[in-house]
Amino acid sequence: MWSLALLAFLLAAKAAPGADDPLLALLVQEQDAARRGAIQDLLRADGGDACATLSGYARARDARARENAVRMMGEAGCSSIDAYRPFFSDGTAWIADALLNALARNRVEEGVPYALALLSDQRRLVTDGGSWTLGQEAQRALRTLTGQPILSAAPQNPEGRRAPIEEAWRAWYAAHGDEPASVWIASGVKSMSEALAGNSAARRLDALETALLIGDPGRPLLAETLRRNPSDLTAVLSCAPEEPPRVTDEVPCTLTVRNASPHRIALAPGDASVALSPWEQPQTAPRPSGRSRDAAGEHSKPKVKNDGAPPPERPPPPDPRTLGGRLVDLAPGEVLMRPVQVGPVLSAGRYEVKVALTDLWARLDPGPYSAPPIEAAFVLRFEQ
């Protein structure tokens, strides 16, 4: 039985191109969750092979319909290369992006040659969530399918010319293309582990991004690398306005995060959040007498309220396409600086400024590990 959402979309699509084909009428429209649900309802109602049905729209005149057909194939779990072949000759950039995404998502290892052919494609795609080139998406697809952390910037060859990434990938595929994907992933994990044990920031970052892309096989490496002690990173907030700030001003400040450990630290910094609150002179707390076990000593621990409520849900992991560009690998003593704006405020006075830097790595650890926060505070006075 068709859902109400599907019926509503079919009625709204009567005057749309392909109105005699209800599936095409939905594919030519801008996609959202409701339309994708309606397409899935139509495919289920048809009762046939959804992948074969969607593959038939490679001949659709509308480029958006062809792109959406490929993206729906990705969501439907189509894992046969034959379903995607009719789209391979389509030169539209967005369709190529959809194909790379679907092939990687469904682990279609036979799609490696298609991704290889697009490594040098510099056409840039722009969305609200960011931008990337087809070559970058092809690199991500290859890493997802093979687990190989081949460098994003290929090293120079003996003649002093920079070897293209495509050459490095083609050389690897010529040597290993006949091996099963399981062997690719196993050798890739070994290469990633070796890279993470070294001191090359470039190799470590490529290994971490690849470990993220391959999913479960890369989780142990991610979990081991992202863990850090509270003392590994130090954070300092500095605010140096040119003149005393007024309540209407925005004051430029800088959060400086330093690797205080003797080893490299990897993190994926997200956005910096700023919190302002009126500052009060701290009062000296009375010294505990030590006579009461509840007032001081080993038994004076914070009481945790247990009301039976479930723990808060862990935020979903970030999109690898957006996370890849955020990765940072700090050498001992190296710093990461983030500018922030503080103010305006409602009234004059002293304010405590607290700045916290989101650590997206913390959302990738599959275990109970809680990453130490990256935060710092500063007291700032605003004039009327």
pLDDT of 173 over the 90 cut: yes
Q: 25 and 8, same structural domain? A: yes
Question: Which range (65-74, 80-89, 103-112, 272-281) has the least confidence?
Answer: 272-281
Q: Are residues 278 and 352 in the same domain?
A: yes
Distances (CA, A) of 181 to 79, 107, 168, 175: 14, 9, 18, 14
Calpha distance 276→342 (Å, rounded): 8
Q: Measuring CA to CA, which residue among 103, 151, 100, 150 is closest to residue 123?
A: 100
Q: Is the pLDDT of residue 298 over 60?
A: no
pTM above 0.85, yes or no: no
60-64, 218-222, 335-339, 364-368: least confidently modelled range: 364-368
Q: Domain residues for 322?
A: 233-283+317-382
Domain CATH code at residue 249: 2.60.40.10
Confidence of residue 340 (pLDDT cuts 50, 70, 90): very high
Residue 347: band (very low, low, confident or very high) from pLDDT cuts 50, 70, 90: very high
Does residue 172 form part of some domain? yes
- What average pLDDT does range 335-343 have in this prediction? 95
Residue, of 129 and 171, whose pLDDT is higher: 171
* Tokens standing for residue 352: 């405590």
pLDDT: is 156 or 251 the higher one? 251
Q: What is the pLDDT of residues 224-241, one digit of tens each?
A: 888 888 899 999 999 989
What is the per-residue pLDDT for 7? 46
Position 266 in a domain: yes
**Domain match, 271 and 203 both:** no
Task: Please tell me the predicted confidence (pLDDT) of residue 52.
Answer: 97
Average per-residue pLDDT for the chain? 84
* Structure-model confidence comparison of residues 268 and 218, the more confident one: 218
Does residue 73 form part of some domain? Answer: yes
Q: Does residue 176 lie within any of the structural domains?
A: yes
pLDDT at 43 over 60: yes
**What is the token pair recorded at 190?**
């070994």
pLDDT confidence of residue 285: 58
Q: What is the pLDDT of residues 246-261, one digit of tens each?
A: 999 999 999 999 999 9
Q: What is the mean predicted confidence (pLDDT) over 7-20?
A: 50
Tokens 């494609």 found at:
121
Q: Is 211 helix (H, G, I), strand (E, B) or coil?
A: helix
* Joined tokens for residue 376: 């710092």
**Sequential DSSP letters for 228-265:** --TTTEEEEEEE--SSPPBTT--EEEEEEEEE-SSS-E
Q: What would the pLDDT profile of 302-322 be if each residue is shown by its tens digit?
A: 343 444 555 555 555 556 656
The predicted model gives 351-380 an average pLDDT of: 81
Residue 265 lies in a domain: yes
Are 86 and 206 in the same domain? Answer: yes
Position 302 in a domain: no
Look up residue 118 and give its amino acid: L
pLDDT band at residue 283 under the 50/70/90 scheme: low
Residue 8 is assigned to a structural domain of this protein: yes
- What is the residue type of 234? T
Average pLDDT over residues 35-50: 94
Residue 290 lies in a domain: no
How many structural domains comprise the chain? 2
Q: Are residues 354 and 216 in the same domain?
A: no
How far apart, in whole angstroms, are the C-alpha atoms of residue 141 and residue 175?
19
Judge if 205 and 238 occupy the same domain.
Answer: no
Provide the token pair at 67: 């792109």
324 and 185 in a common domain:
no
Position 57 pLDDT exceeds 70: yes
Question: 215: domain CATH number?
Answer: 1.25.10
